[in-house]
Structure 1
Amino acid sequence: MVDTRIAIVGAGIAGISAAHRLYQNGFKNFVILEAKDQIGGRIRSIKFDNNWIELGAQWIHGQQGNILYDFADKNELIADLTKDFGLEANGFFCTDDGDLIESNLVRDLIVYVDEKKEDIRNIDEINFNVFEYFRAAFDDFVRSRVDSEEIIESDLETINLLRKVFRWFIIYEVIDNSCDNLRELSSLSYIEWHNCFGTVDLINLKNGYVSVLNKLVEDFPFENHLRLNTVVERISTTFDYTSASIELKLIDNSVNSREENHFEYFDHVILTSSLGFLKANLTTGFFDFDLPDRKSAIIKALGFSAINKVYLYFDRPFWIKETKGFQILWSNISDQHSYSMSEPKVLNDWENQAQKFPSWVYCIQGFDRVYNQPNMLMAWIGSYGAKQIESLDDDEIAECLTEVLETIVPQSCRLIGSVIAKPSKIFCTRWNSEPYVLGSYSNRTLEYGHLCSDNHRHNIEILSEPLRYKDIIKPSIDHNLQTKSDWPLIHFAGEATDFEFYSTTHGAMQSGFREANRIIEFHRSKLKN
């Protein structure tokens, strides 16, 4: 057991959880290989103004059955749930003409389509286009509120308002699912994902998400097992007539490093790379062998797109005390592209329609207040806008969003006499440009749904199934390695490999524990035999 040499690729929460579980069970001959100069993966907390902001994972999602919540609660990492719960998609609903919308129709429609979203689990068909489903629900709601046989001017105003609210809902779902547009998203994204119920849905951490990682690594000599700035360039297998192992080609990625490539050998590798990285590197030579056809097909078919966040820090708030956020109801939504969040064929199509702002702005859902940051607002941006924004510099983004806020925020929601000044500090994420991430988190596409049989759990089991020796090299009938043909060489972890909790940190944590347990049980069973 002690001599089993294990590499963990990636020091995100999946990799660190795997390391924690291995060490606690006596497997201490492992190394964590991290390409960047810091741990965390898609957890990235930074200290600002004596508190924290999250550039990556934002909240713990739910309580019941959530192993990450249980861990954080046990170690007193969680913020006060009675007052410091997460705020998302909340606050004032404003048009892009600066009008405050207080109509009950806004909440009525959102509640209605949210209920329809829950109903997806009860539909016999398991793989259908969710945009068309939501569009039909919207049409039903409109018919219930408007007499279609005798539409008067007030009805037209009602329909126009409802269309704006519906598009806000579509932007919300695009961001929540980290997809490019809902036309490509499968109903499986709502069927397979499991909600961890509790008193609070979105749970903040008192000292940033990084506090979870810091607490995990307290239980073992983490620094002795960690190598930062270490890129795995290629995974190969080696064998002779008595043993099989995995060969990793490693590159020192640190600044001013002159070390050339070198190779190291392991009995097991736990690969925690993002689905985005796997999709981009199926045929680049990262794997020096072909993955099984079914596993490759699932990696290609699963969705993995980008969402980004922009934090705006103001020297003093311009908003009134009771503000929870500003949600934007965009106008001019008759265009099919804007309605479904499909990317315009020409990037300046928005401007051609006399839009006020660059096209990426219309992929913003709104501006939310930020936990423990009283002078800060945060904008979520999804779809093609999340990718477009990554090519812009922070100053250009800040200038544009200041203009957006000046346009949408009604005077009644501002402190008396407040002019919205440009923020003094901006933090903008660029997850699609991160070479070892290439997006945000996974989703279930229609293409993925087409691969599913009645047992759709089986696809994710195939994705997470380790590559055994026999999957990579078919030993001849007289080969001494026949006895090692079932040896699990390469293990797959990360949020995308969890069936119920994909897209979450607790799914990533669970996957790291799962693969560590798989190695532990494999060697225990060998000892018994």
Structure 2
Amino acid sequence: MGSIKRSTFQHYEYYKSLHAPGNNMSLCTATATATWGKNKETARIVIIGAGASGIAAATRLLEQGFRNVLLLEAEDRIGGRIHTIPFADNVIDLGAQWCHGEQGNVVYQRVKDLDLLEKRGEPAMHFFRSNQEALAEDQVKALRNFMDSSGTLTDADYEGSVGDYLTHKYWQSFPAMERTVAKEALDCIKKMICSYDACDHLFELSPQNHLTFAECEGDPNLNWRDKGYKQFLRVLMAVPDDQPEDLGVLRGHVLLNKRIAEINWQGADELTIRCWNGEIITADHVICTVSLGVLQEQHKQLFVPALPAAKVRAIDGLRLGTVDKFLLEFSEQPMPEKMLSFNCLWLEADLRELRGTDNFWLEGICGFHRVAHQPRLIEGWIIGAHARHMETLKGEKVLEGLLWLFRKFLPFDVPPPKRFLRTQWHSHPNFRGSYSFQPTYADELRTGRWDLESPLADVSGRPRLQFAGEASSRTHFSTVHGATETGWREADRLNEFYAARA
């Protein structure tokens, strides 16, 4: 690690020297309408955020011949919402976990020949009611068929929310079971779909979230064996196998612990970036990849001058939802041998009682499942406002609630775990959420991801302030492959600009 730190410092000193007073490589002071006096070797590009989109942008720019590329990362690690850590028998992913699909998925295409991904197949579903009664096999099959056939809105003319659509379809064509149980199952299905789309509830989810998303054909839940999603970042950075902590081609191009206080894009010349510690960095181009949640919280203070109205509408109109994980390590797997997952159906009386207790947040739990290559683990998921409240509780209080839930629903014993972790993506100041969705509010504002994607350029068309990240992807939002594509998109935008002037 020492050599990495030294090379980073040396590159940074060189980077600063490029725009030192009197340097003959400093920015031309001519107006934007004059010939731009930079090329790929001299243009200074700063990327804010070293997540998947930032790393994708940086590595592609270097491949395209740009020399002065610098990533500023607020965390003390790279990866953003990809965060693989050692846990239990190998590793776990606190953020992105699966590669979703094969055909048209740039993540899959990059690693498909490297023996990193594994197909697991569709696990059998189990549903338990809050009286420990399990749904019958035919009932589970009916629920699965409904989710497969009607869980995604495909009617381009539909004007309500996804919640309206799903509720209508459910009662129109289903269920062949007692109505009380059917209602419990519908509530559970809605939470499961919310966990896919990151919304608090389906009645705030726009049909556009389903209509514009492009599914990648193939297995939707490819796992990373015992290596974790960080392997994809290593592939992007071309990290040698024998140097697991190296940064590969990005060695010398990444500065950690660089939280940004201000991005000044005033005028038509260079941009000025001020870090929280007062340090000033200047650039010819800035690619901002911070999460939508951070943009929503900070854009008024972060950008000087204020962003254009169309950009602000997109930031305010879109949403970064909250989806958190629970990870419980046991001495041995407590779930029965043939059970891979289970979901919870609340009896109405039990749910009313729960809502009057300190454990009300348990209503937001979607379910639990085993983890591939982690034989002693159970992983659980919680969504929305309940997840945000859970994040404010002490860890022991959360675990106490989960053990109570297991006793309430399961006909088998689950002992206290050896170790327990929960994620807190919303509480984290550098993320403020998990992944994005388009609410009906964005439809009312007549805005969307196209406005978030749009770069801010000078009158000659030179991109000055650009935006990337999963929330700016028009068709693959909320995925790593979408985030990666947006990083490449903005790198290619700069490459095309300079190629036209070569």
TM-score range, shorter chain: 0.7 to 0.9
Shift of residue 106 of structure 1?
A: 3.2
Q: Which residue of 1 aligns with 2:409?
A: 408
Q: Which residue of 1 aligns with 2:237?
A: 217
C-alpha distance in 1 between matches for 2:187 and 2:349: 8
C-alpha distance in 2 between matches for 1:403 and 1:44: 29
Shift of residue 171 of structure 1?
A: 0.7
Change (3 A) 1:237 1:196: same
Contact 1:304 1:439 in 2 (8 A): yes
Shift of residue 214 of structure 1?
A: 1.5
Q: Which residue of 1 aligns with 2:377?
A: 376
Match of 2:321 among 295, 298, 305: 305
Q: Which residue of 2 aligns with 1:513?
A: 488
What amino acid is aligned across from residue 196 of structure 2 in structure 1? D
C-alpha distance in 1 between matches for 2:336 and 2:139: 24
Contact 2:449 2:474 in 1 (8 A): yes
Match of 1:44 among 83, 97, 100: 83
Match of 1:93 among 106, 114, 127: 127
The one-character-per-residue Cα deviations of 1:88-133 (angstroms, maximum 9, x if unpaired) are: xx53211111112114133313422542234x323423x4211121
C-alpha distance in 1 between matches for 2:137 and 2:183: 14
Indicate the SS of the match to 2:164: helix
Indicate the SS of the match to 2:59: helix
Contact 1:363 1:382 in 2 (8 A): yes
C-alpha distance in 2 between matches for 1:329 and 1:286: 44
Question: How does the TM-score come out when normalised to structure 1?
Answer: 0.82
Indicate the SS of the match to 1:512: helix
C-alpha distance in 2 between matches for 1:360 and 1:396: 11
Match of 1:500 among 475, 481, 486: 475
Q: Which residue of 1 aligns with 2:224?
A: 205
Match of 2:282 among 265, 288, 295: 265
Match of 2:100 among 61, 70, 74: 61
1:230 aligns to 2:258 (yes or no) = yes
Question: How does the TM-score come out when normalised to structure 2?
Answer: 0.86
Contact 2:270 2:283 in 1 (8 A): yes
Residues matched between the structures, number = 454
Q: Which residue of 2 aligns with 1:124?
A: 157
Shift of residue 351 of structure 1?
A: 4.0
Indicate the SS of the match to 2:265: strand
C-alpha distance in 1 between matches for 2:151 and 2:210: 8
What amino acid is aligned across from residue 429 of structure 2 in structure 1? P
Contact 2:265 2:465 in 1 (8 A): no
Unpaired segments ≥5 residues, structure 1: 146-154, 252-259, 339-348, 412-418, 471-484
What amino acid is aligned across from residue 420 of structure 1 in structure 2? V
1:418-433 → structure 2 map (5 Å cutoff): 419-433=413-427
Shift of residue 333 of structure 1?
A: 7.2
Change (3 A) 1:333 1:275: farther
Contact 1:360 1:386 in 2 (8 A): yes
Indicate the SS of the match to 1:423: coil
Q: Percent identity?
A: 29
C-alpha distance in 2 between matches for 1:352 and 1:442: 28
1:138 aligns to 2:177 (yes or no) = no
Shift of residue 299 of structure 1?
A: 1.3
Shift of residue 350 of structure 1?
A: 5.0
Shift of residue 86 of structure 1?
A: 7.4
C-alpha distance in 2 between matches for 1:333 and 1:496: 39
Shift of residue 332 of structure 1?
A: 0.9
Q: Which residue of 2 aligns with 1:182?
A: 202
C-alpha distance in 1 between matches for 2:283 and 2:130: 57
* Aligned residues: CA RMSD: 2.0
Match of 1:486 among 461, 466, 478: 461
What amino acid is aligned across from residue 365 of structure 2 in structure 1? I
C-alpha distance in 1 between matches for 2:190 and 2:426: 21
Q: Which residue of 1 aligns with 2:21?
A: none
Contact 2:328 2:377 in 1 (8 A): yes
Q: Tell me whether 379-388 or 67-76 shows the greater mean CA deviation.
A: 67-76
Q: Which residue of 1 aligns with 2:14?
A: none
Contact 1:313 1:423 in 2 (8 A): yes
Change (3 A) 1:37 1:450: same
Q: Which residue of 2 aligns with 1:291?
A: 307
The one-character-per-residue Cα deviations of 1:323-377 (angstroms, maximum 9, x if unpaired) are: 101211111179xxx7xxxxxxxxxx75466x7x711111111111111111111
Indicate the SS of the match to 2:452: helix
Indicate the SS of the match to 2:46: strand
Change (3 A) 1:333 1:291: farther
Q: Tell me whether 52-61 or 217-226 shows the greater mean CA deviation.
A: 217-226
